[in-house]
Structure 1
Amino acid sequence: MHRVLPARLSLTLLMTGVLALLILLVPLSGQSLSVAVTRAMSAFGFAVPAVERLSDGALLALAVVTAIVGTWSWRRRKDRRAATMGAAIGVVIAYAASEGLKLLLAQSRPCTRWPAAGVCDAADFSLPSNHAALAFAAVVVIAVAARGGWLTLAALFFAFIVAAARMLEGAHYLHDVAAGALIGLAVPAITAWAACRMRARRLGHGH
């Protein structure tokens, strides 16, 4: 059976997930790391031109690349179809999980605590970040479909832009985007692996 991802790409995504986990778990002496970083980012957001468009623009770019790479992989690489489809299904599940947790945890946005550069949607909750979940889930789909190191790294760069921009807008705390990133990385990776396992079993029974 083919690996879902080459070892180097797996390690890259794993290290990104570990970083997100550390952000969630490691405290900062004397104050919350998340609050301190978020407040500084929110203040800096006023100096960023068109900051409200940055996250949506980067997420749109990721969506376009994901669609192109996924279509290419589906047509040209039949051996990757199961993993690519599994990862794509995982994006939908990751978004649903993120939205469900957001409603369950009901954490107010940081823009309700201090001034922010973006429009404050106080009626919506912030934990976890749906933008981050979708962005990092797209990275997994791109990695699984293309298996190219440079393309995956470029996708990761844009995913980090999405996450950072949401903080610059004052829409999310650092721990919001870290949680969203974890969901976005983990769920599609698991569903891609599960799809490969199911494909391998079908092929095994066919012999």
Structure 2
Amino acid sequence: MFYEPRNGHGLPHNPFNAVVTPRPIGWISTRDSAGNDNLAPYSFFNAVAYEPPQVMFASTGIKPDRDGTKDSVSNIRETGVFCVNIVEYAMRDQMNASSASLPKDADEFEHAGLAKAECHQISATRVAEAPANLECKLTQIVQLPGTANFVVFGEVVGVHLRDDCLVDGIFDVTTFSPLARLGYKDYTQVEQTFSLKRPDE
């Protein structure tokens, strides 16, 4: 099968999300200028640079109570900061609950039953029990073609690692089983890992 996205695919559901998988989930926490906390998961998320460490996430939808975007992007525009919370399999239900479309001043932490902790370097709240949290300062927001497609880039200025995830000096993902997004309504978890050496090592 071949199709051009602009002409449609003729399938019951869009296969694009199922092709680019698995995708890590950026659980983005922000705070607006009035002090309201927000939390939302984004599966268009990844690390993009080592030095200095930088990450990105993309927001691709609109909320009716926001100006052409969603709460996360709107709050970041106001404050210039955000926190990425890493999602483990054990928190899948809370992550899913936080994806609900709630009013802009609603607190997804409370809605999902999550404990909060204050960030150290930025004015935002983080998921207290997450395996890791990345405190970020906004570097740029890029608008992509299409309706309400924004990519947010941030420099990581603070890193929290849960103590039980550190094994012999290594952040060991097998201790918490990261959650990843597949296509449609499907997810997966990391349960096994293996190592490969690069040819020039």
TM-score grouping bracket, smaller chain normalisation:
under 0.3
TM-score, normalised by the number of residues in structure 2: 0.25
More strand, by proportion = 2
TM-score, normalised by the number of residues in structure 1: 0.24
Greater RCO, CA 8 A, separation 6+: 1
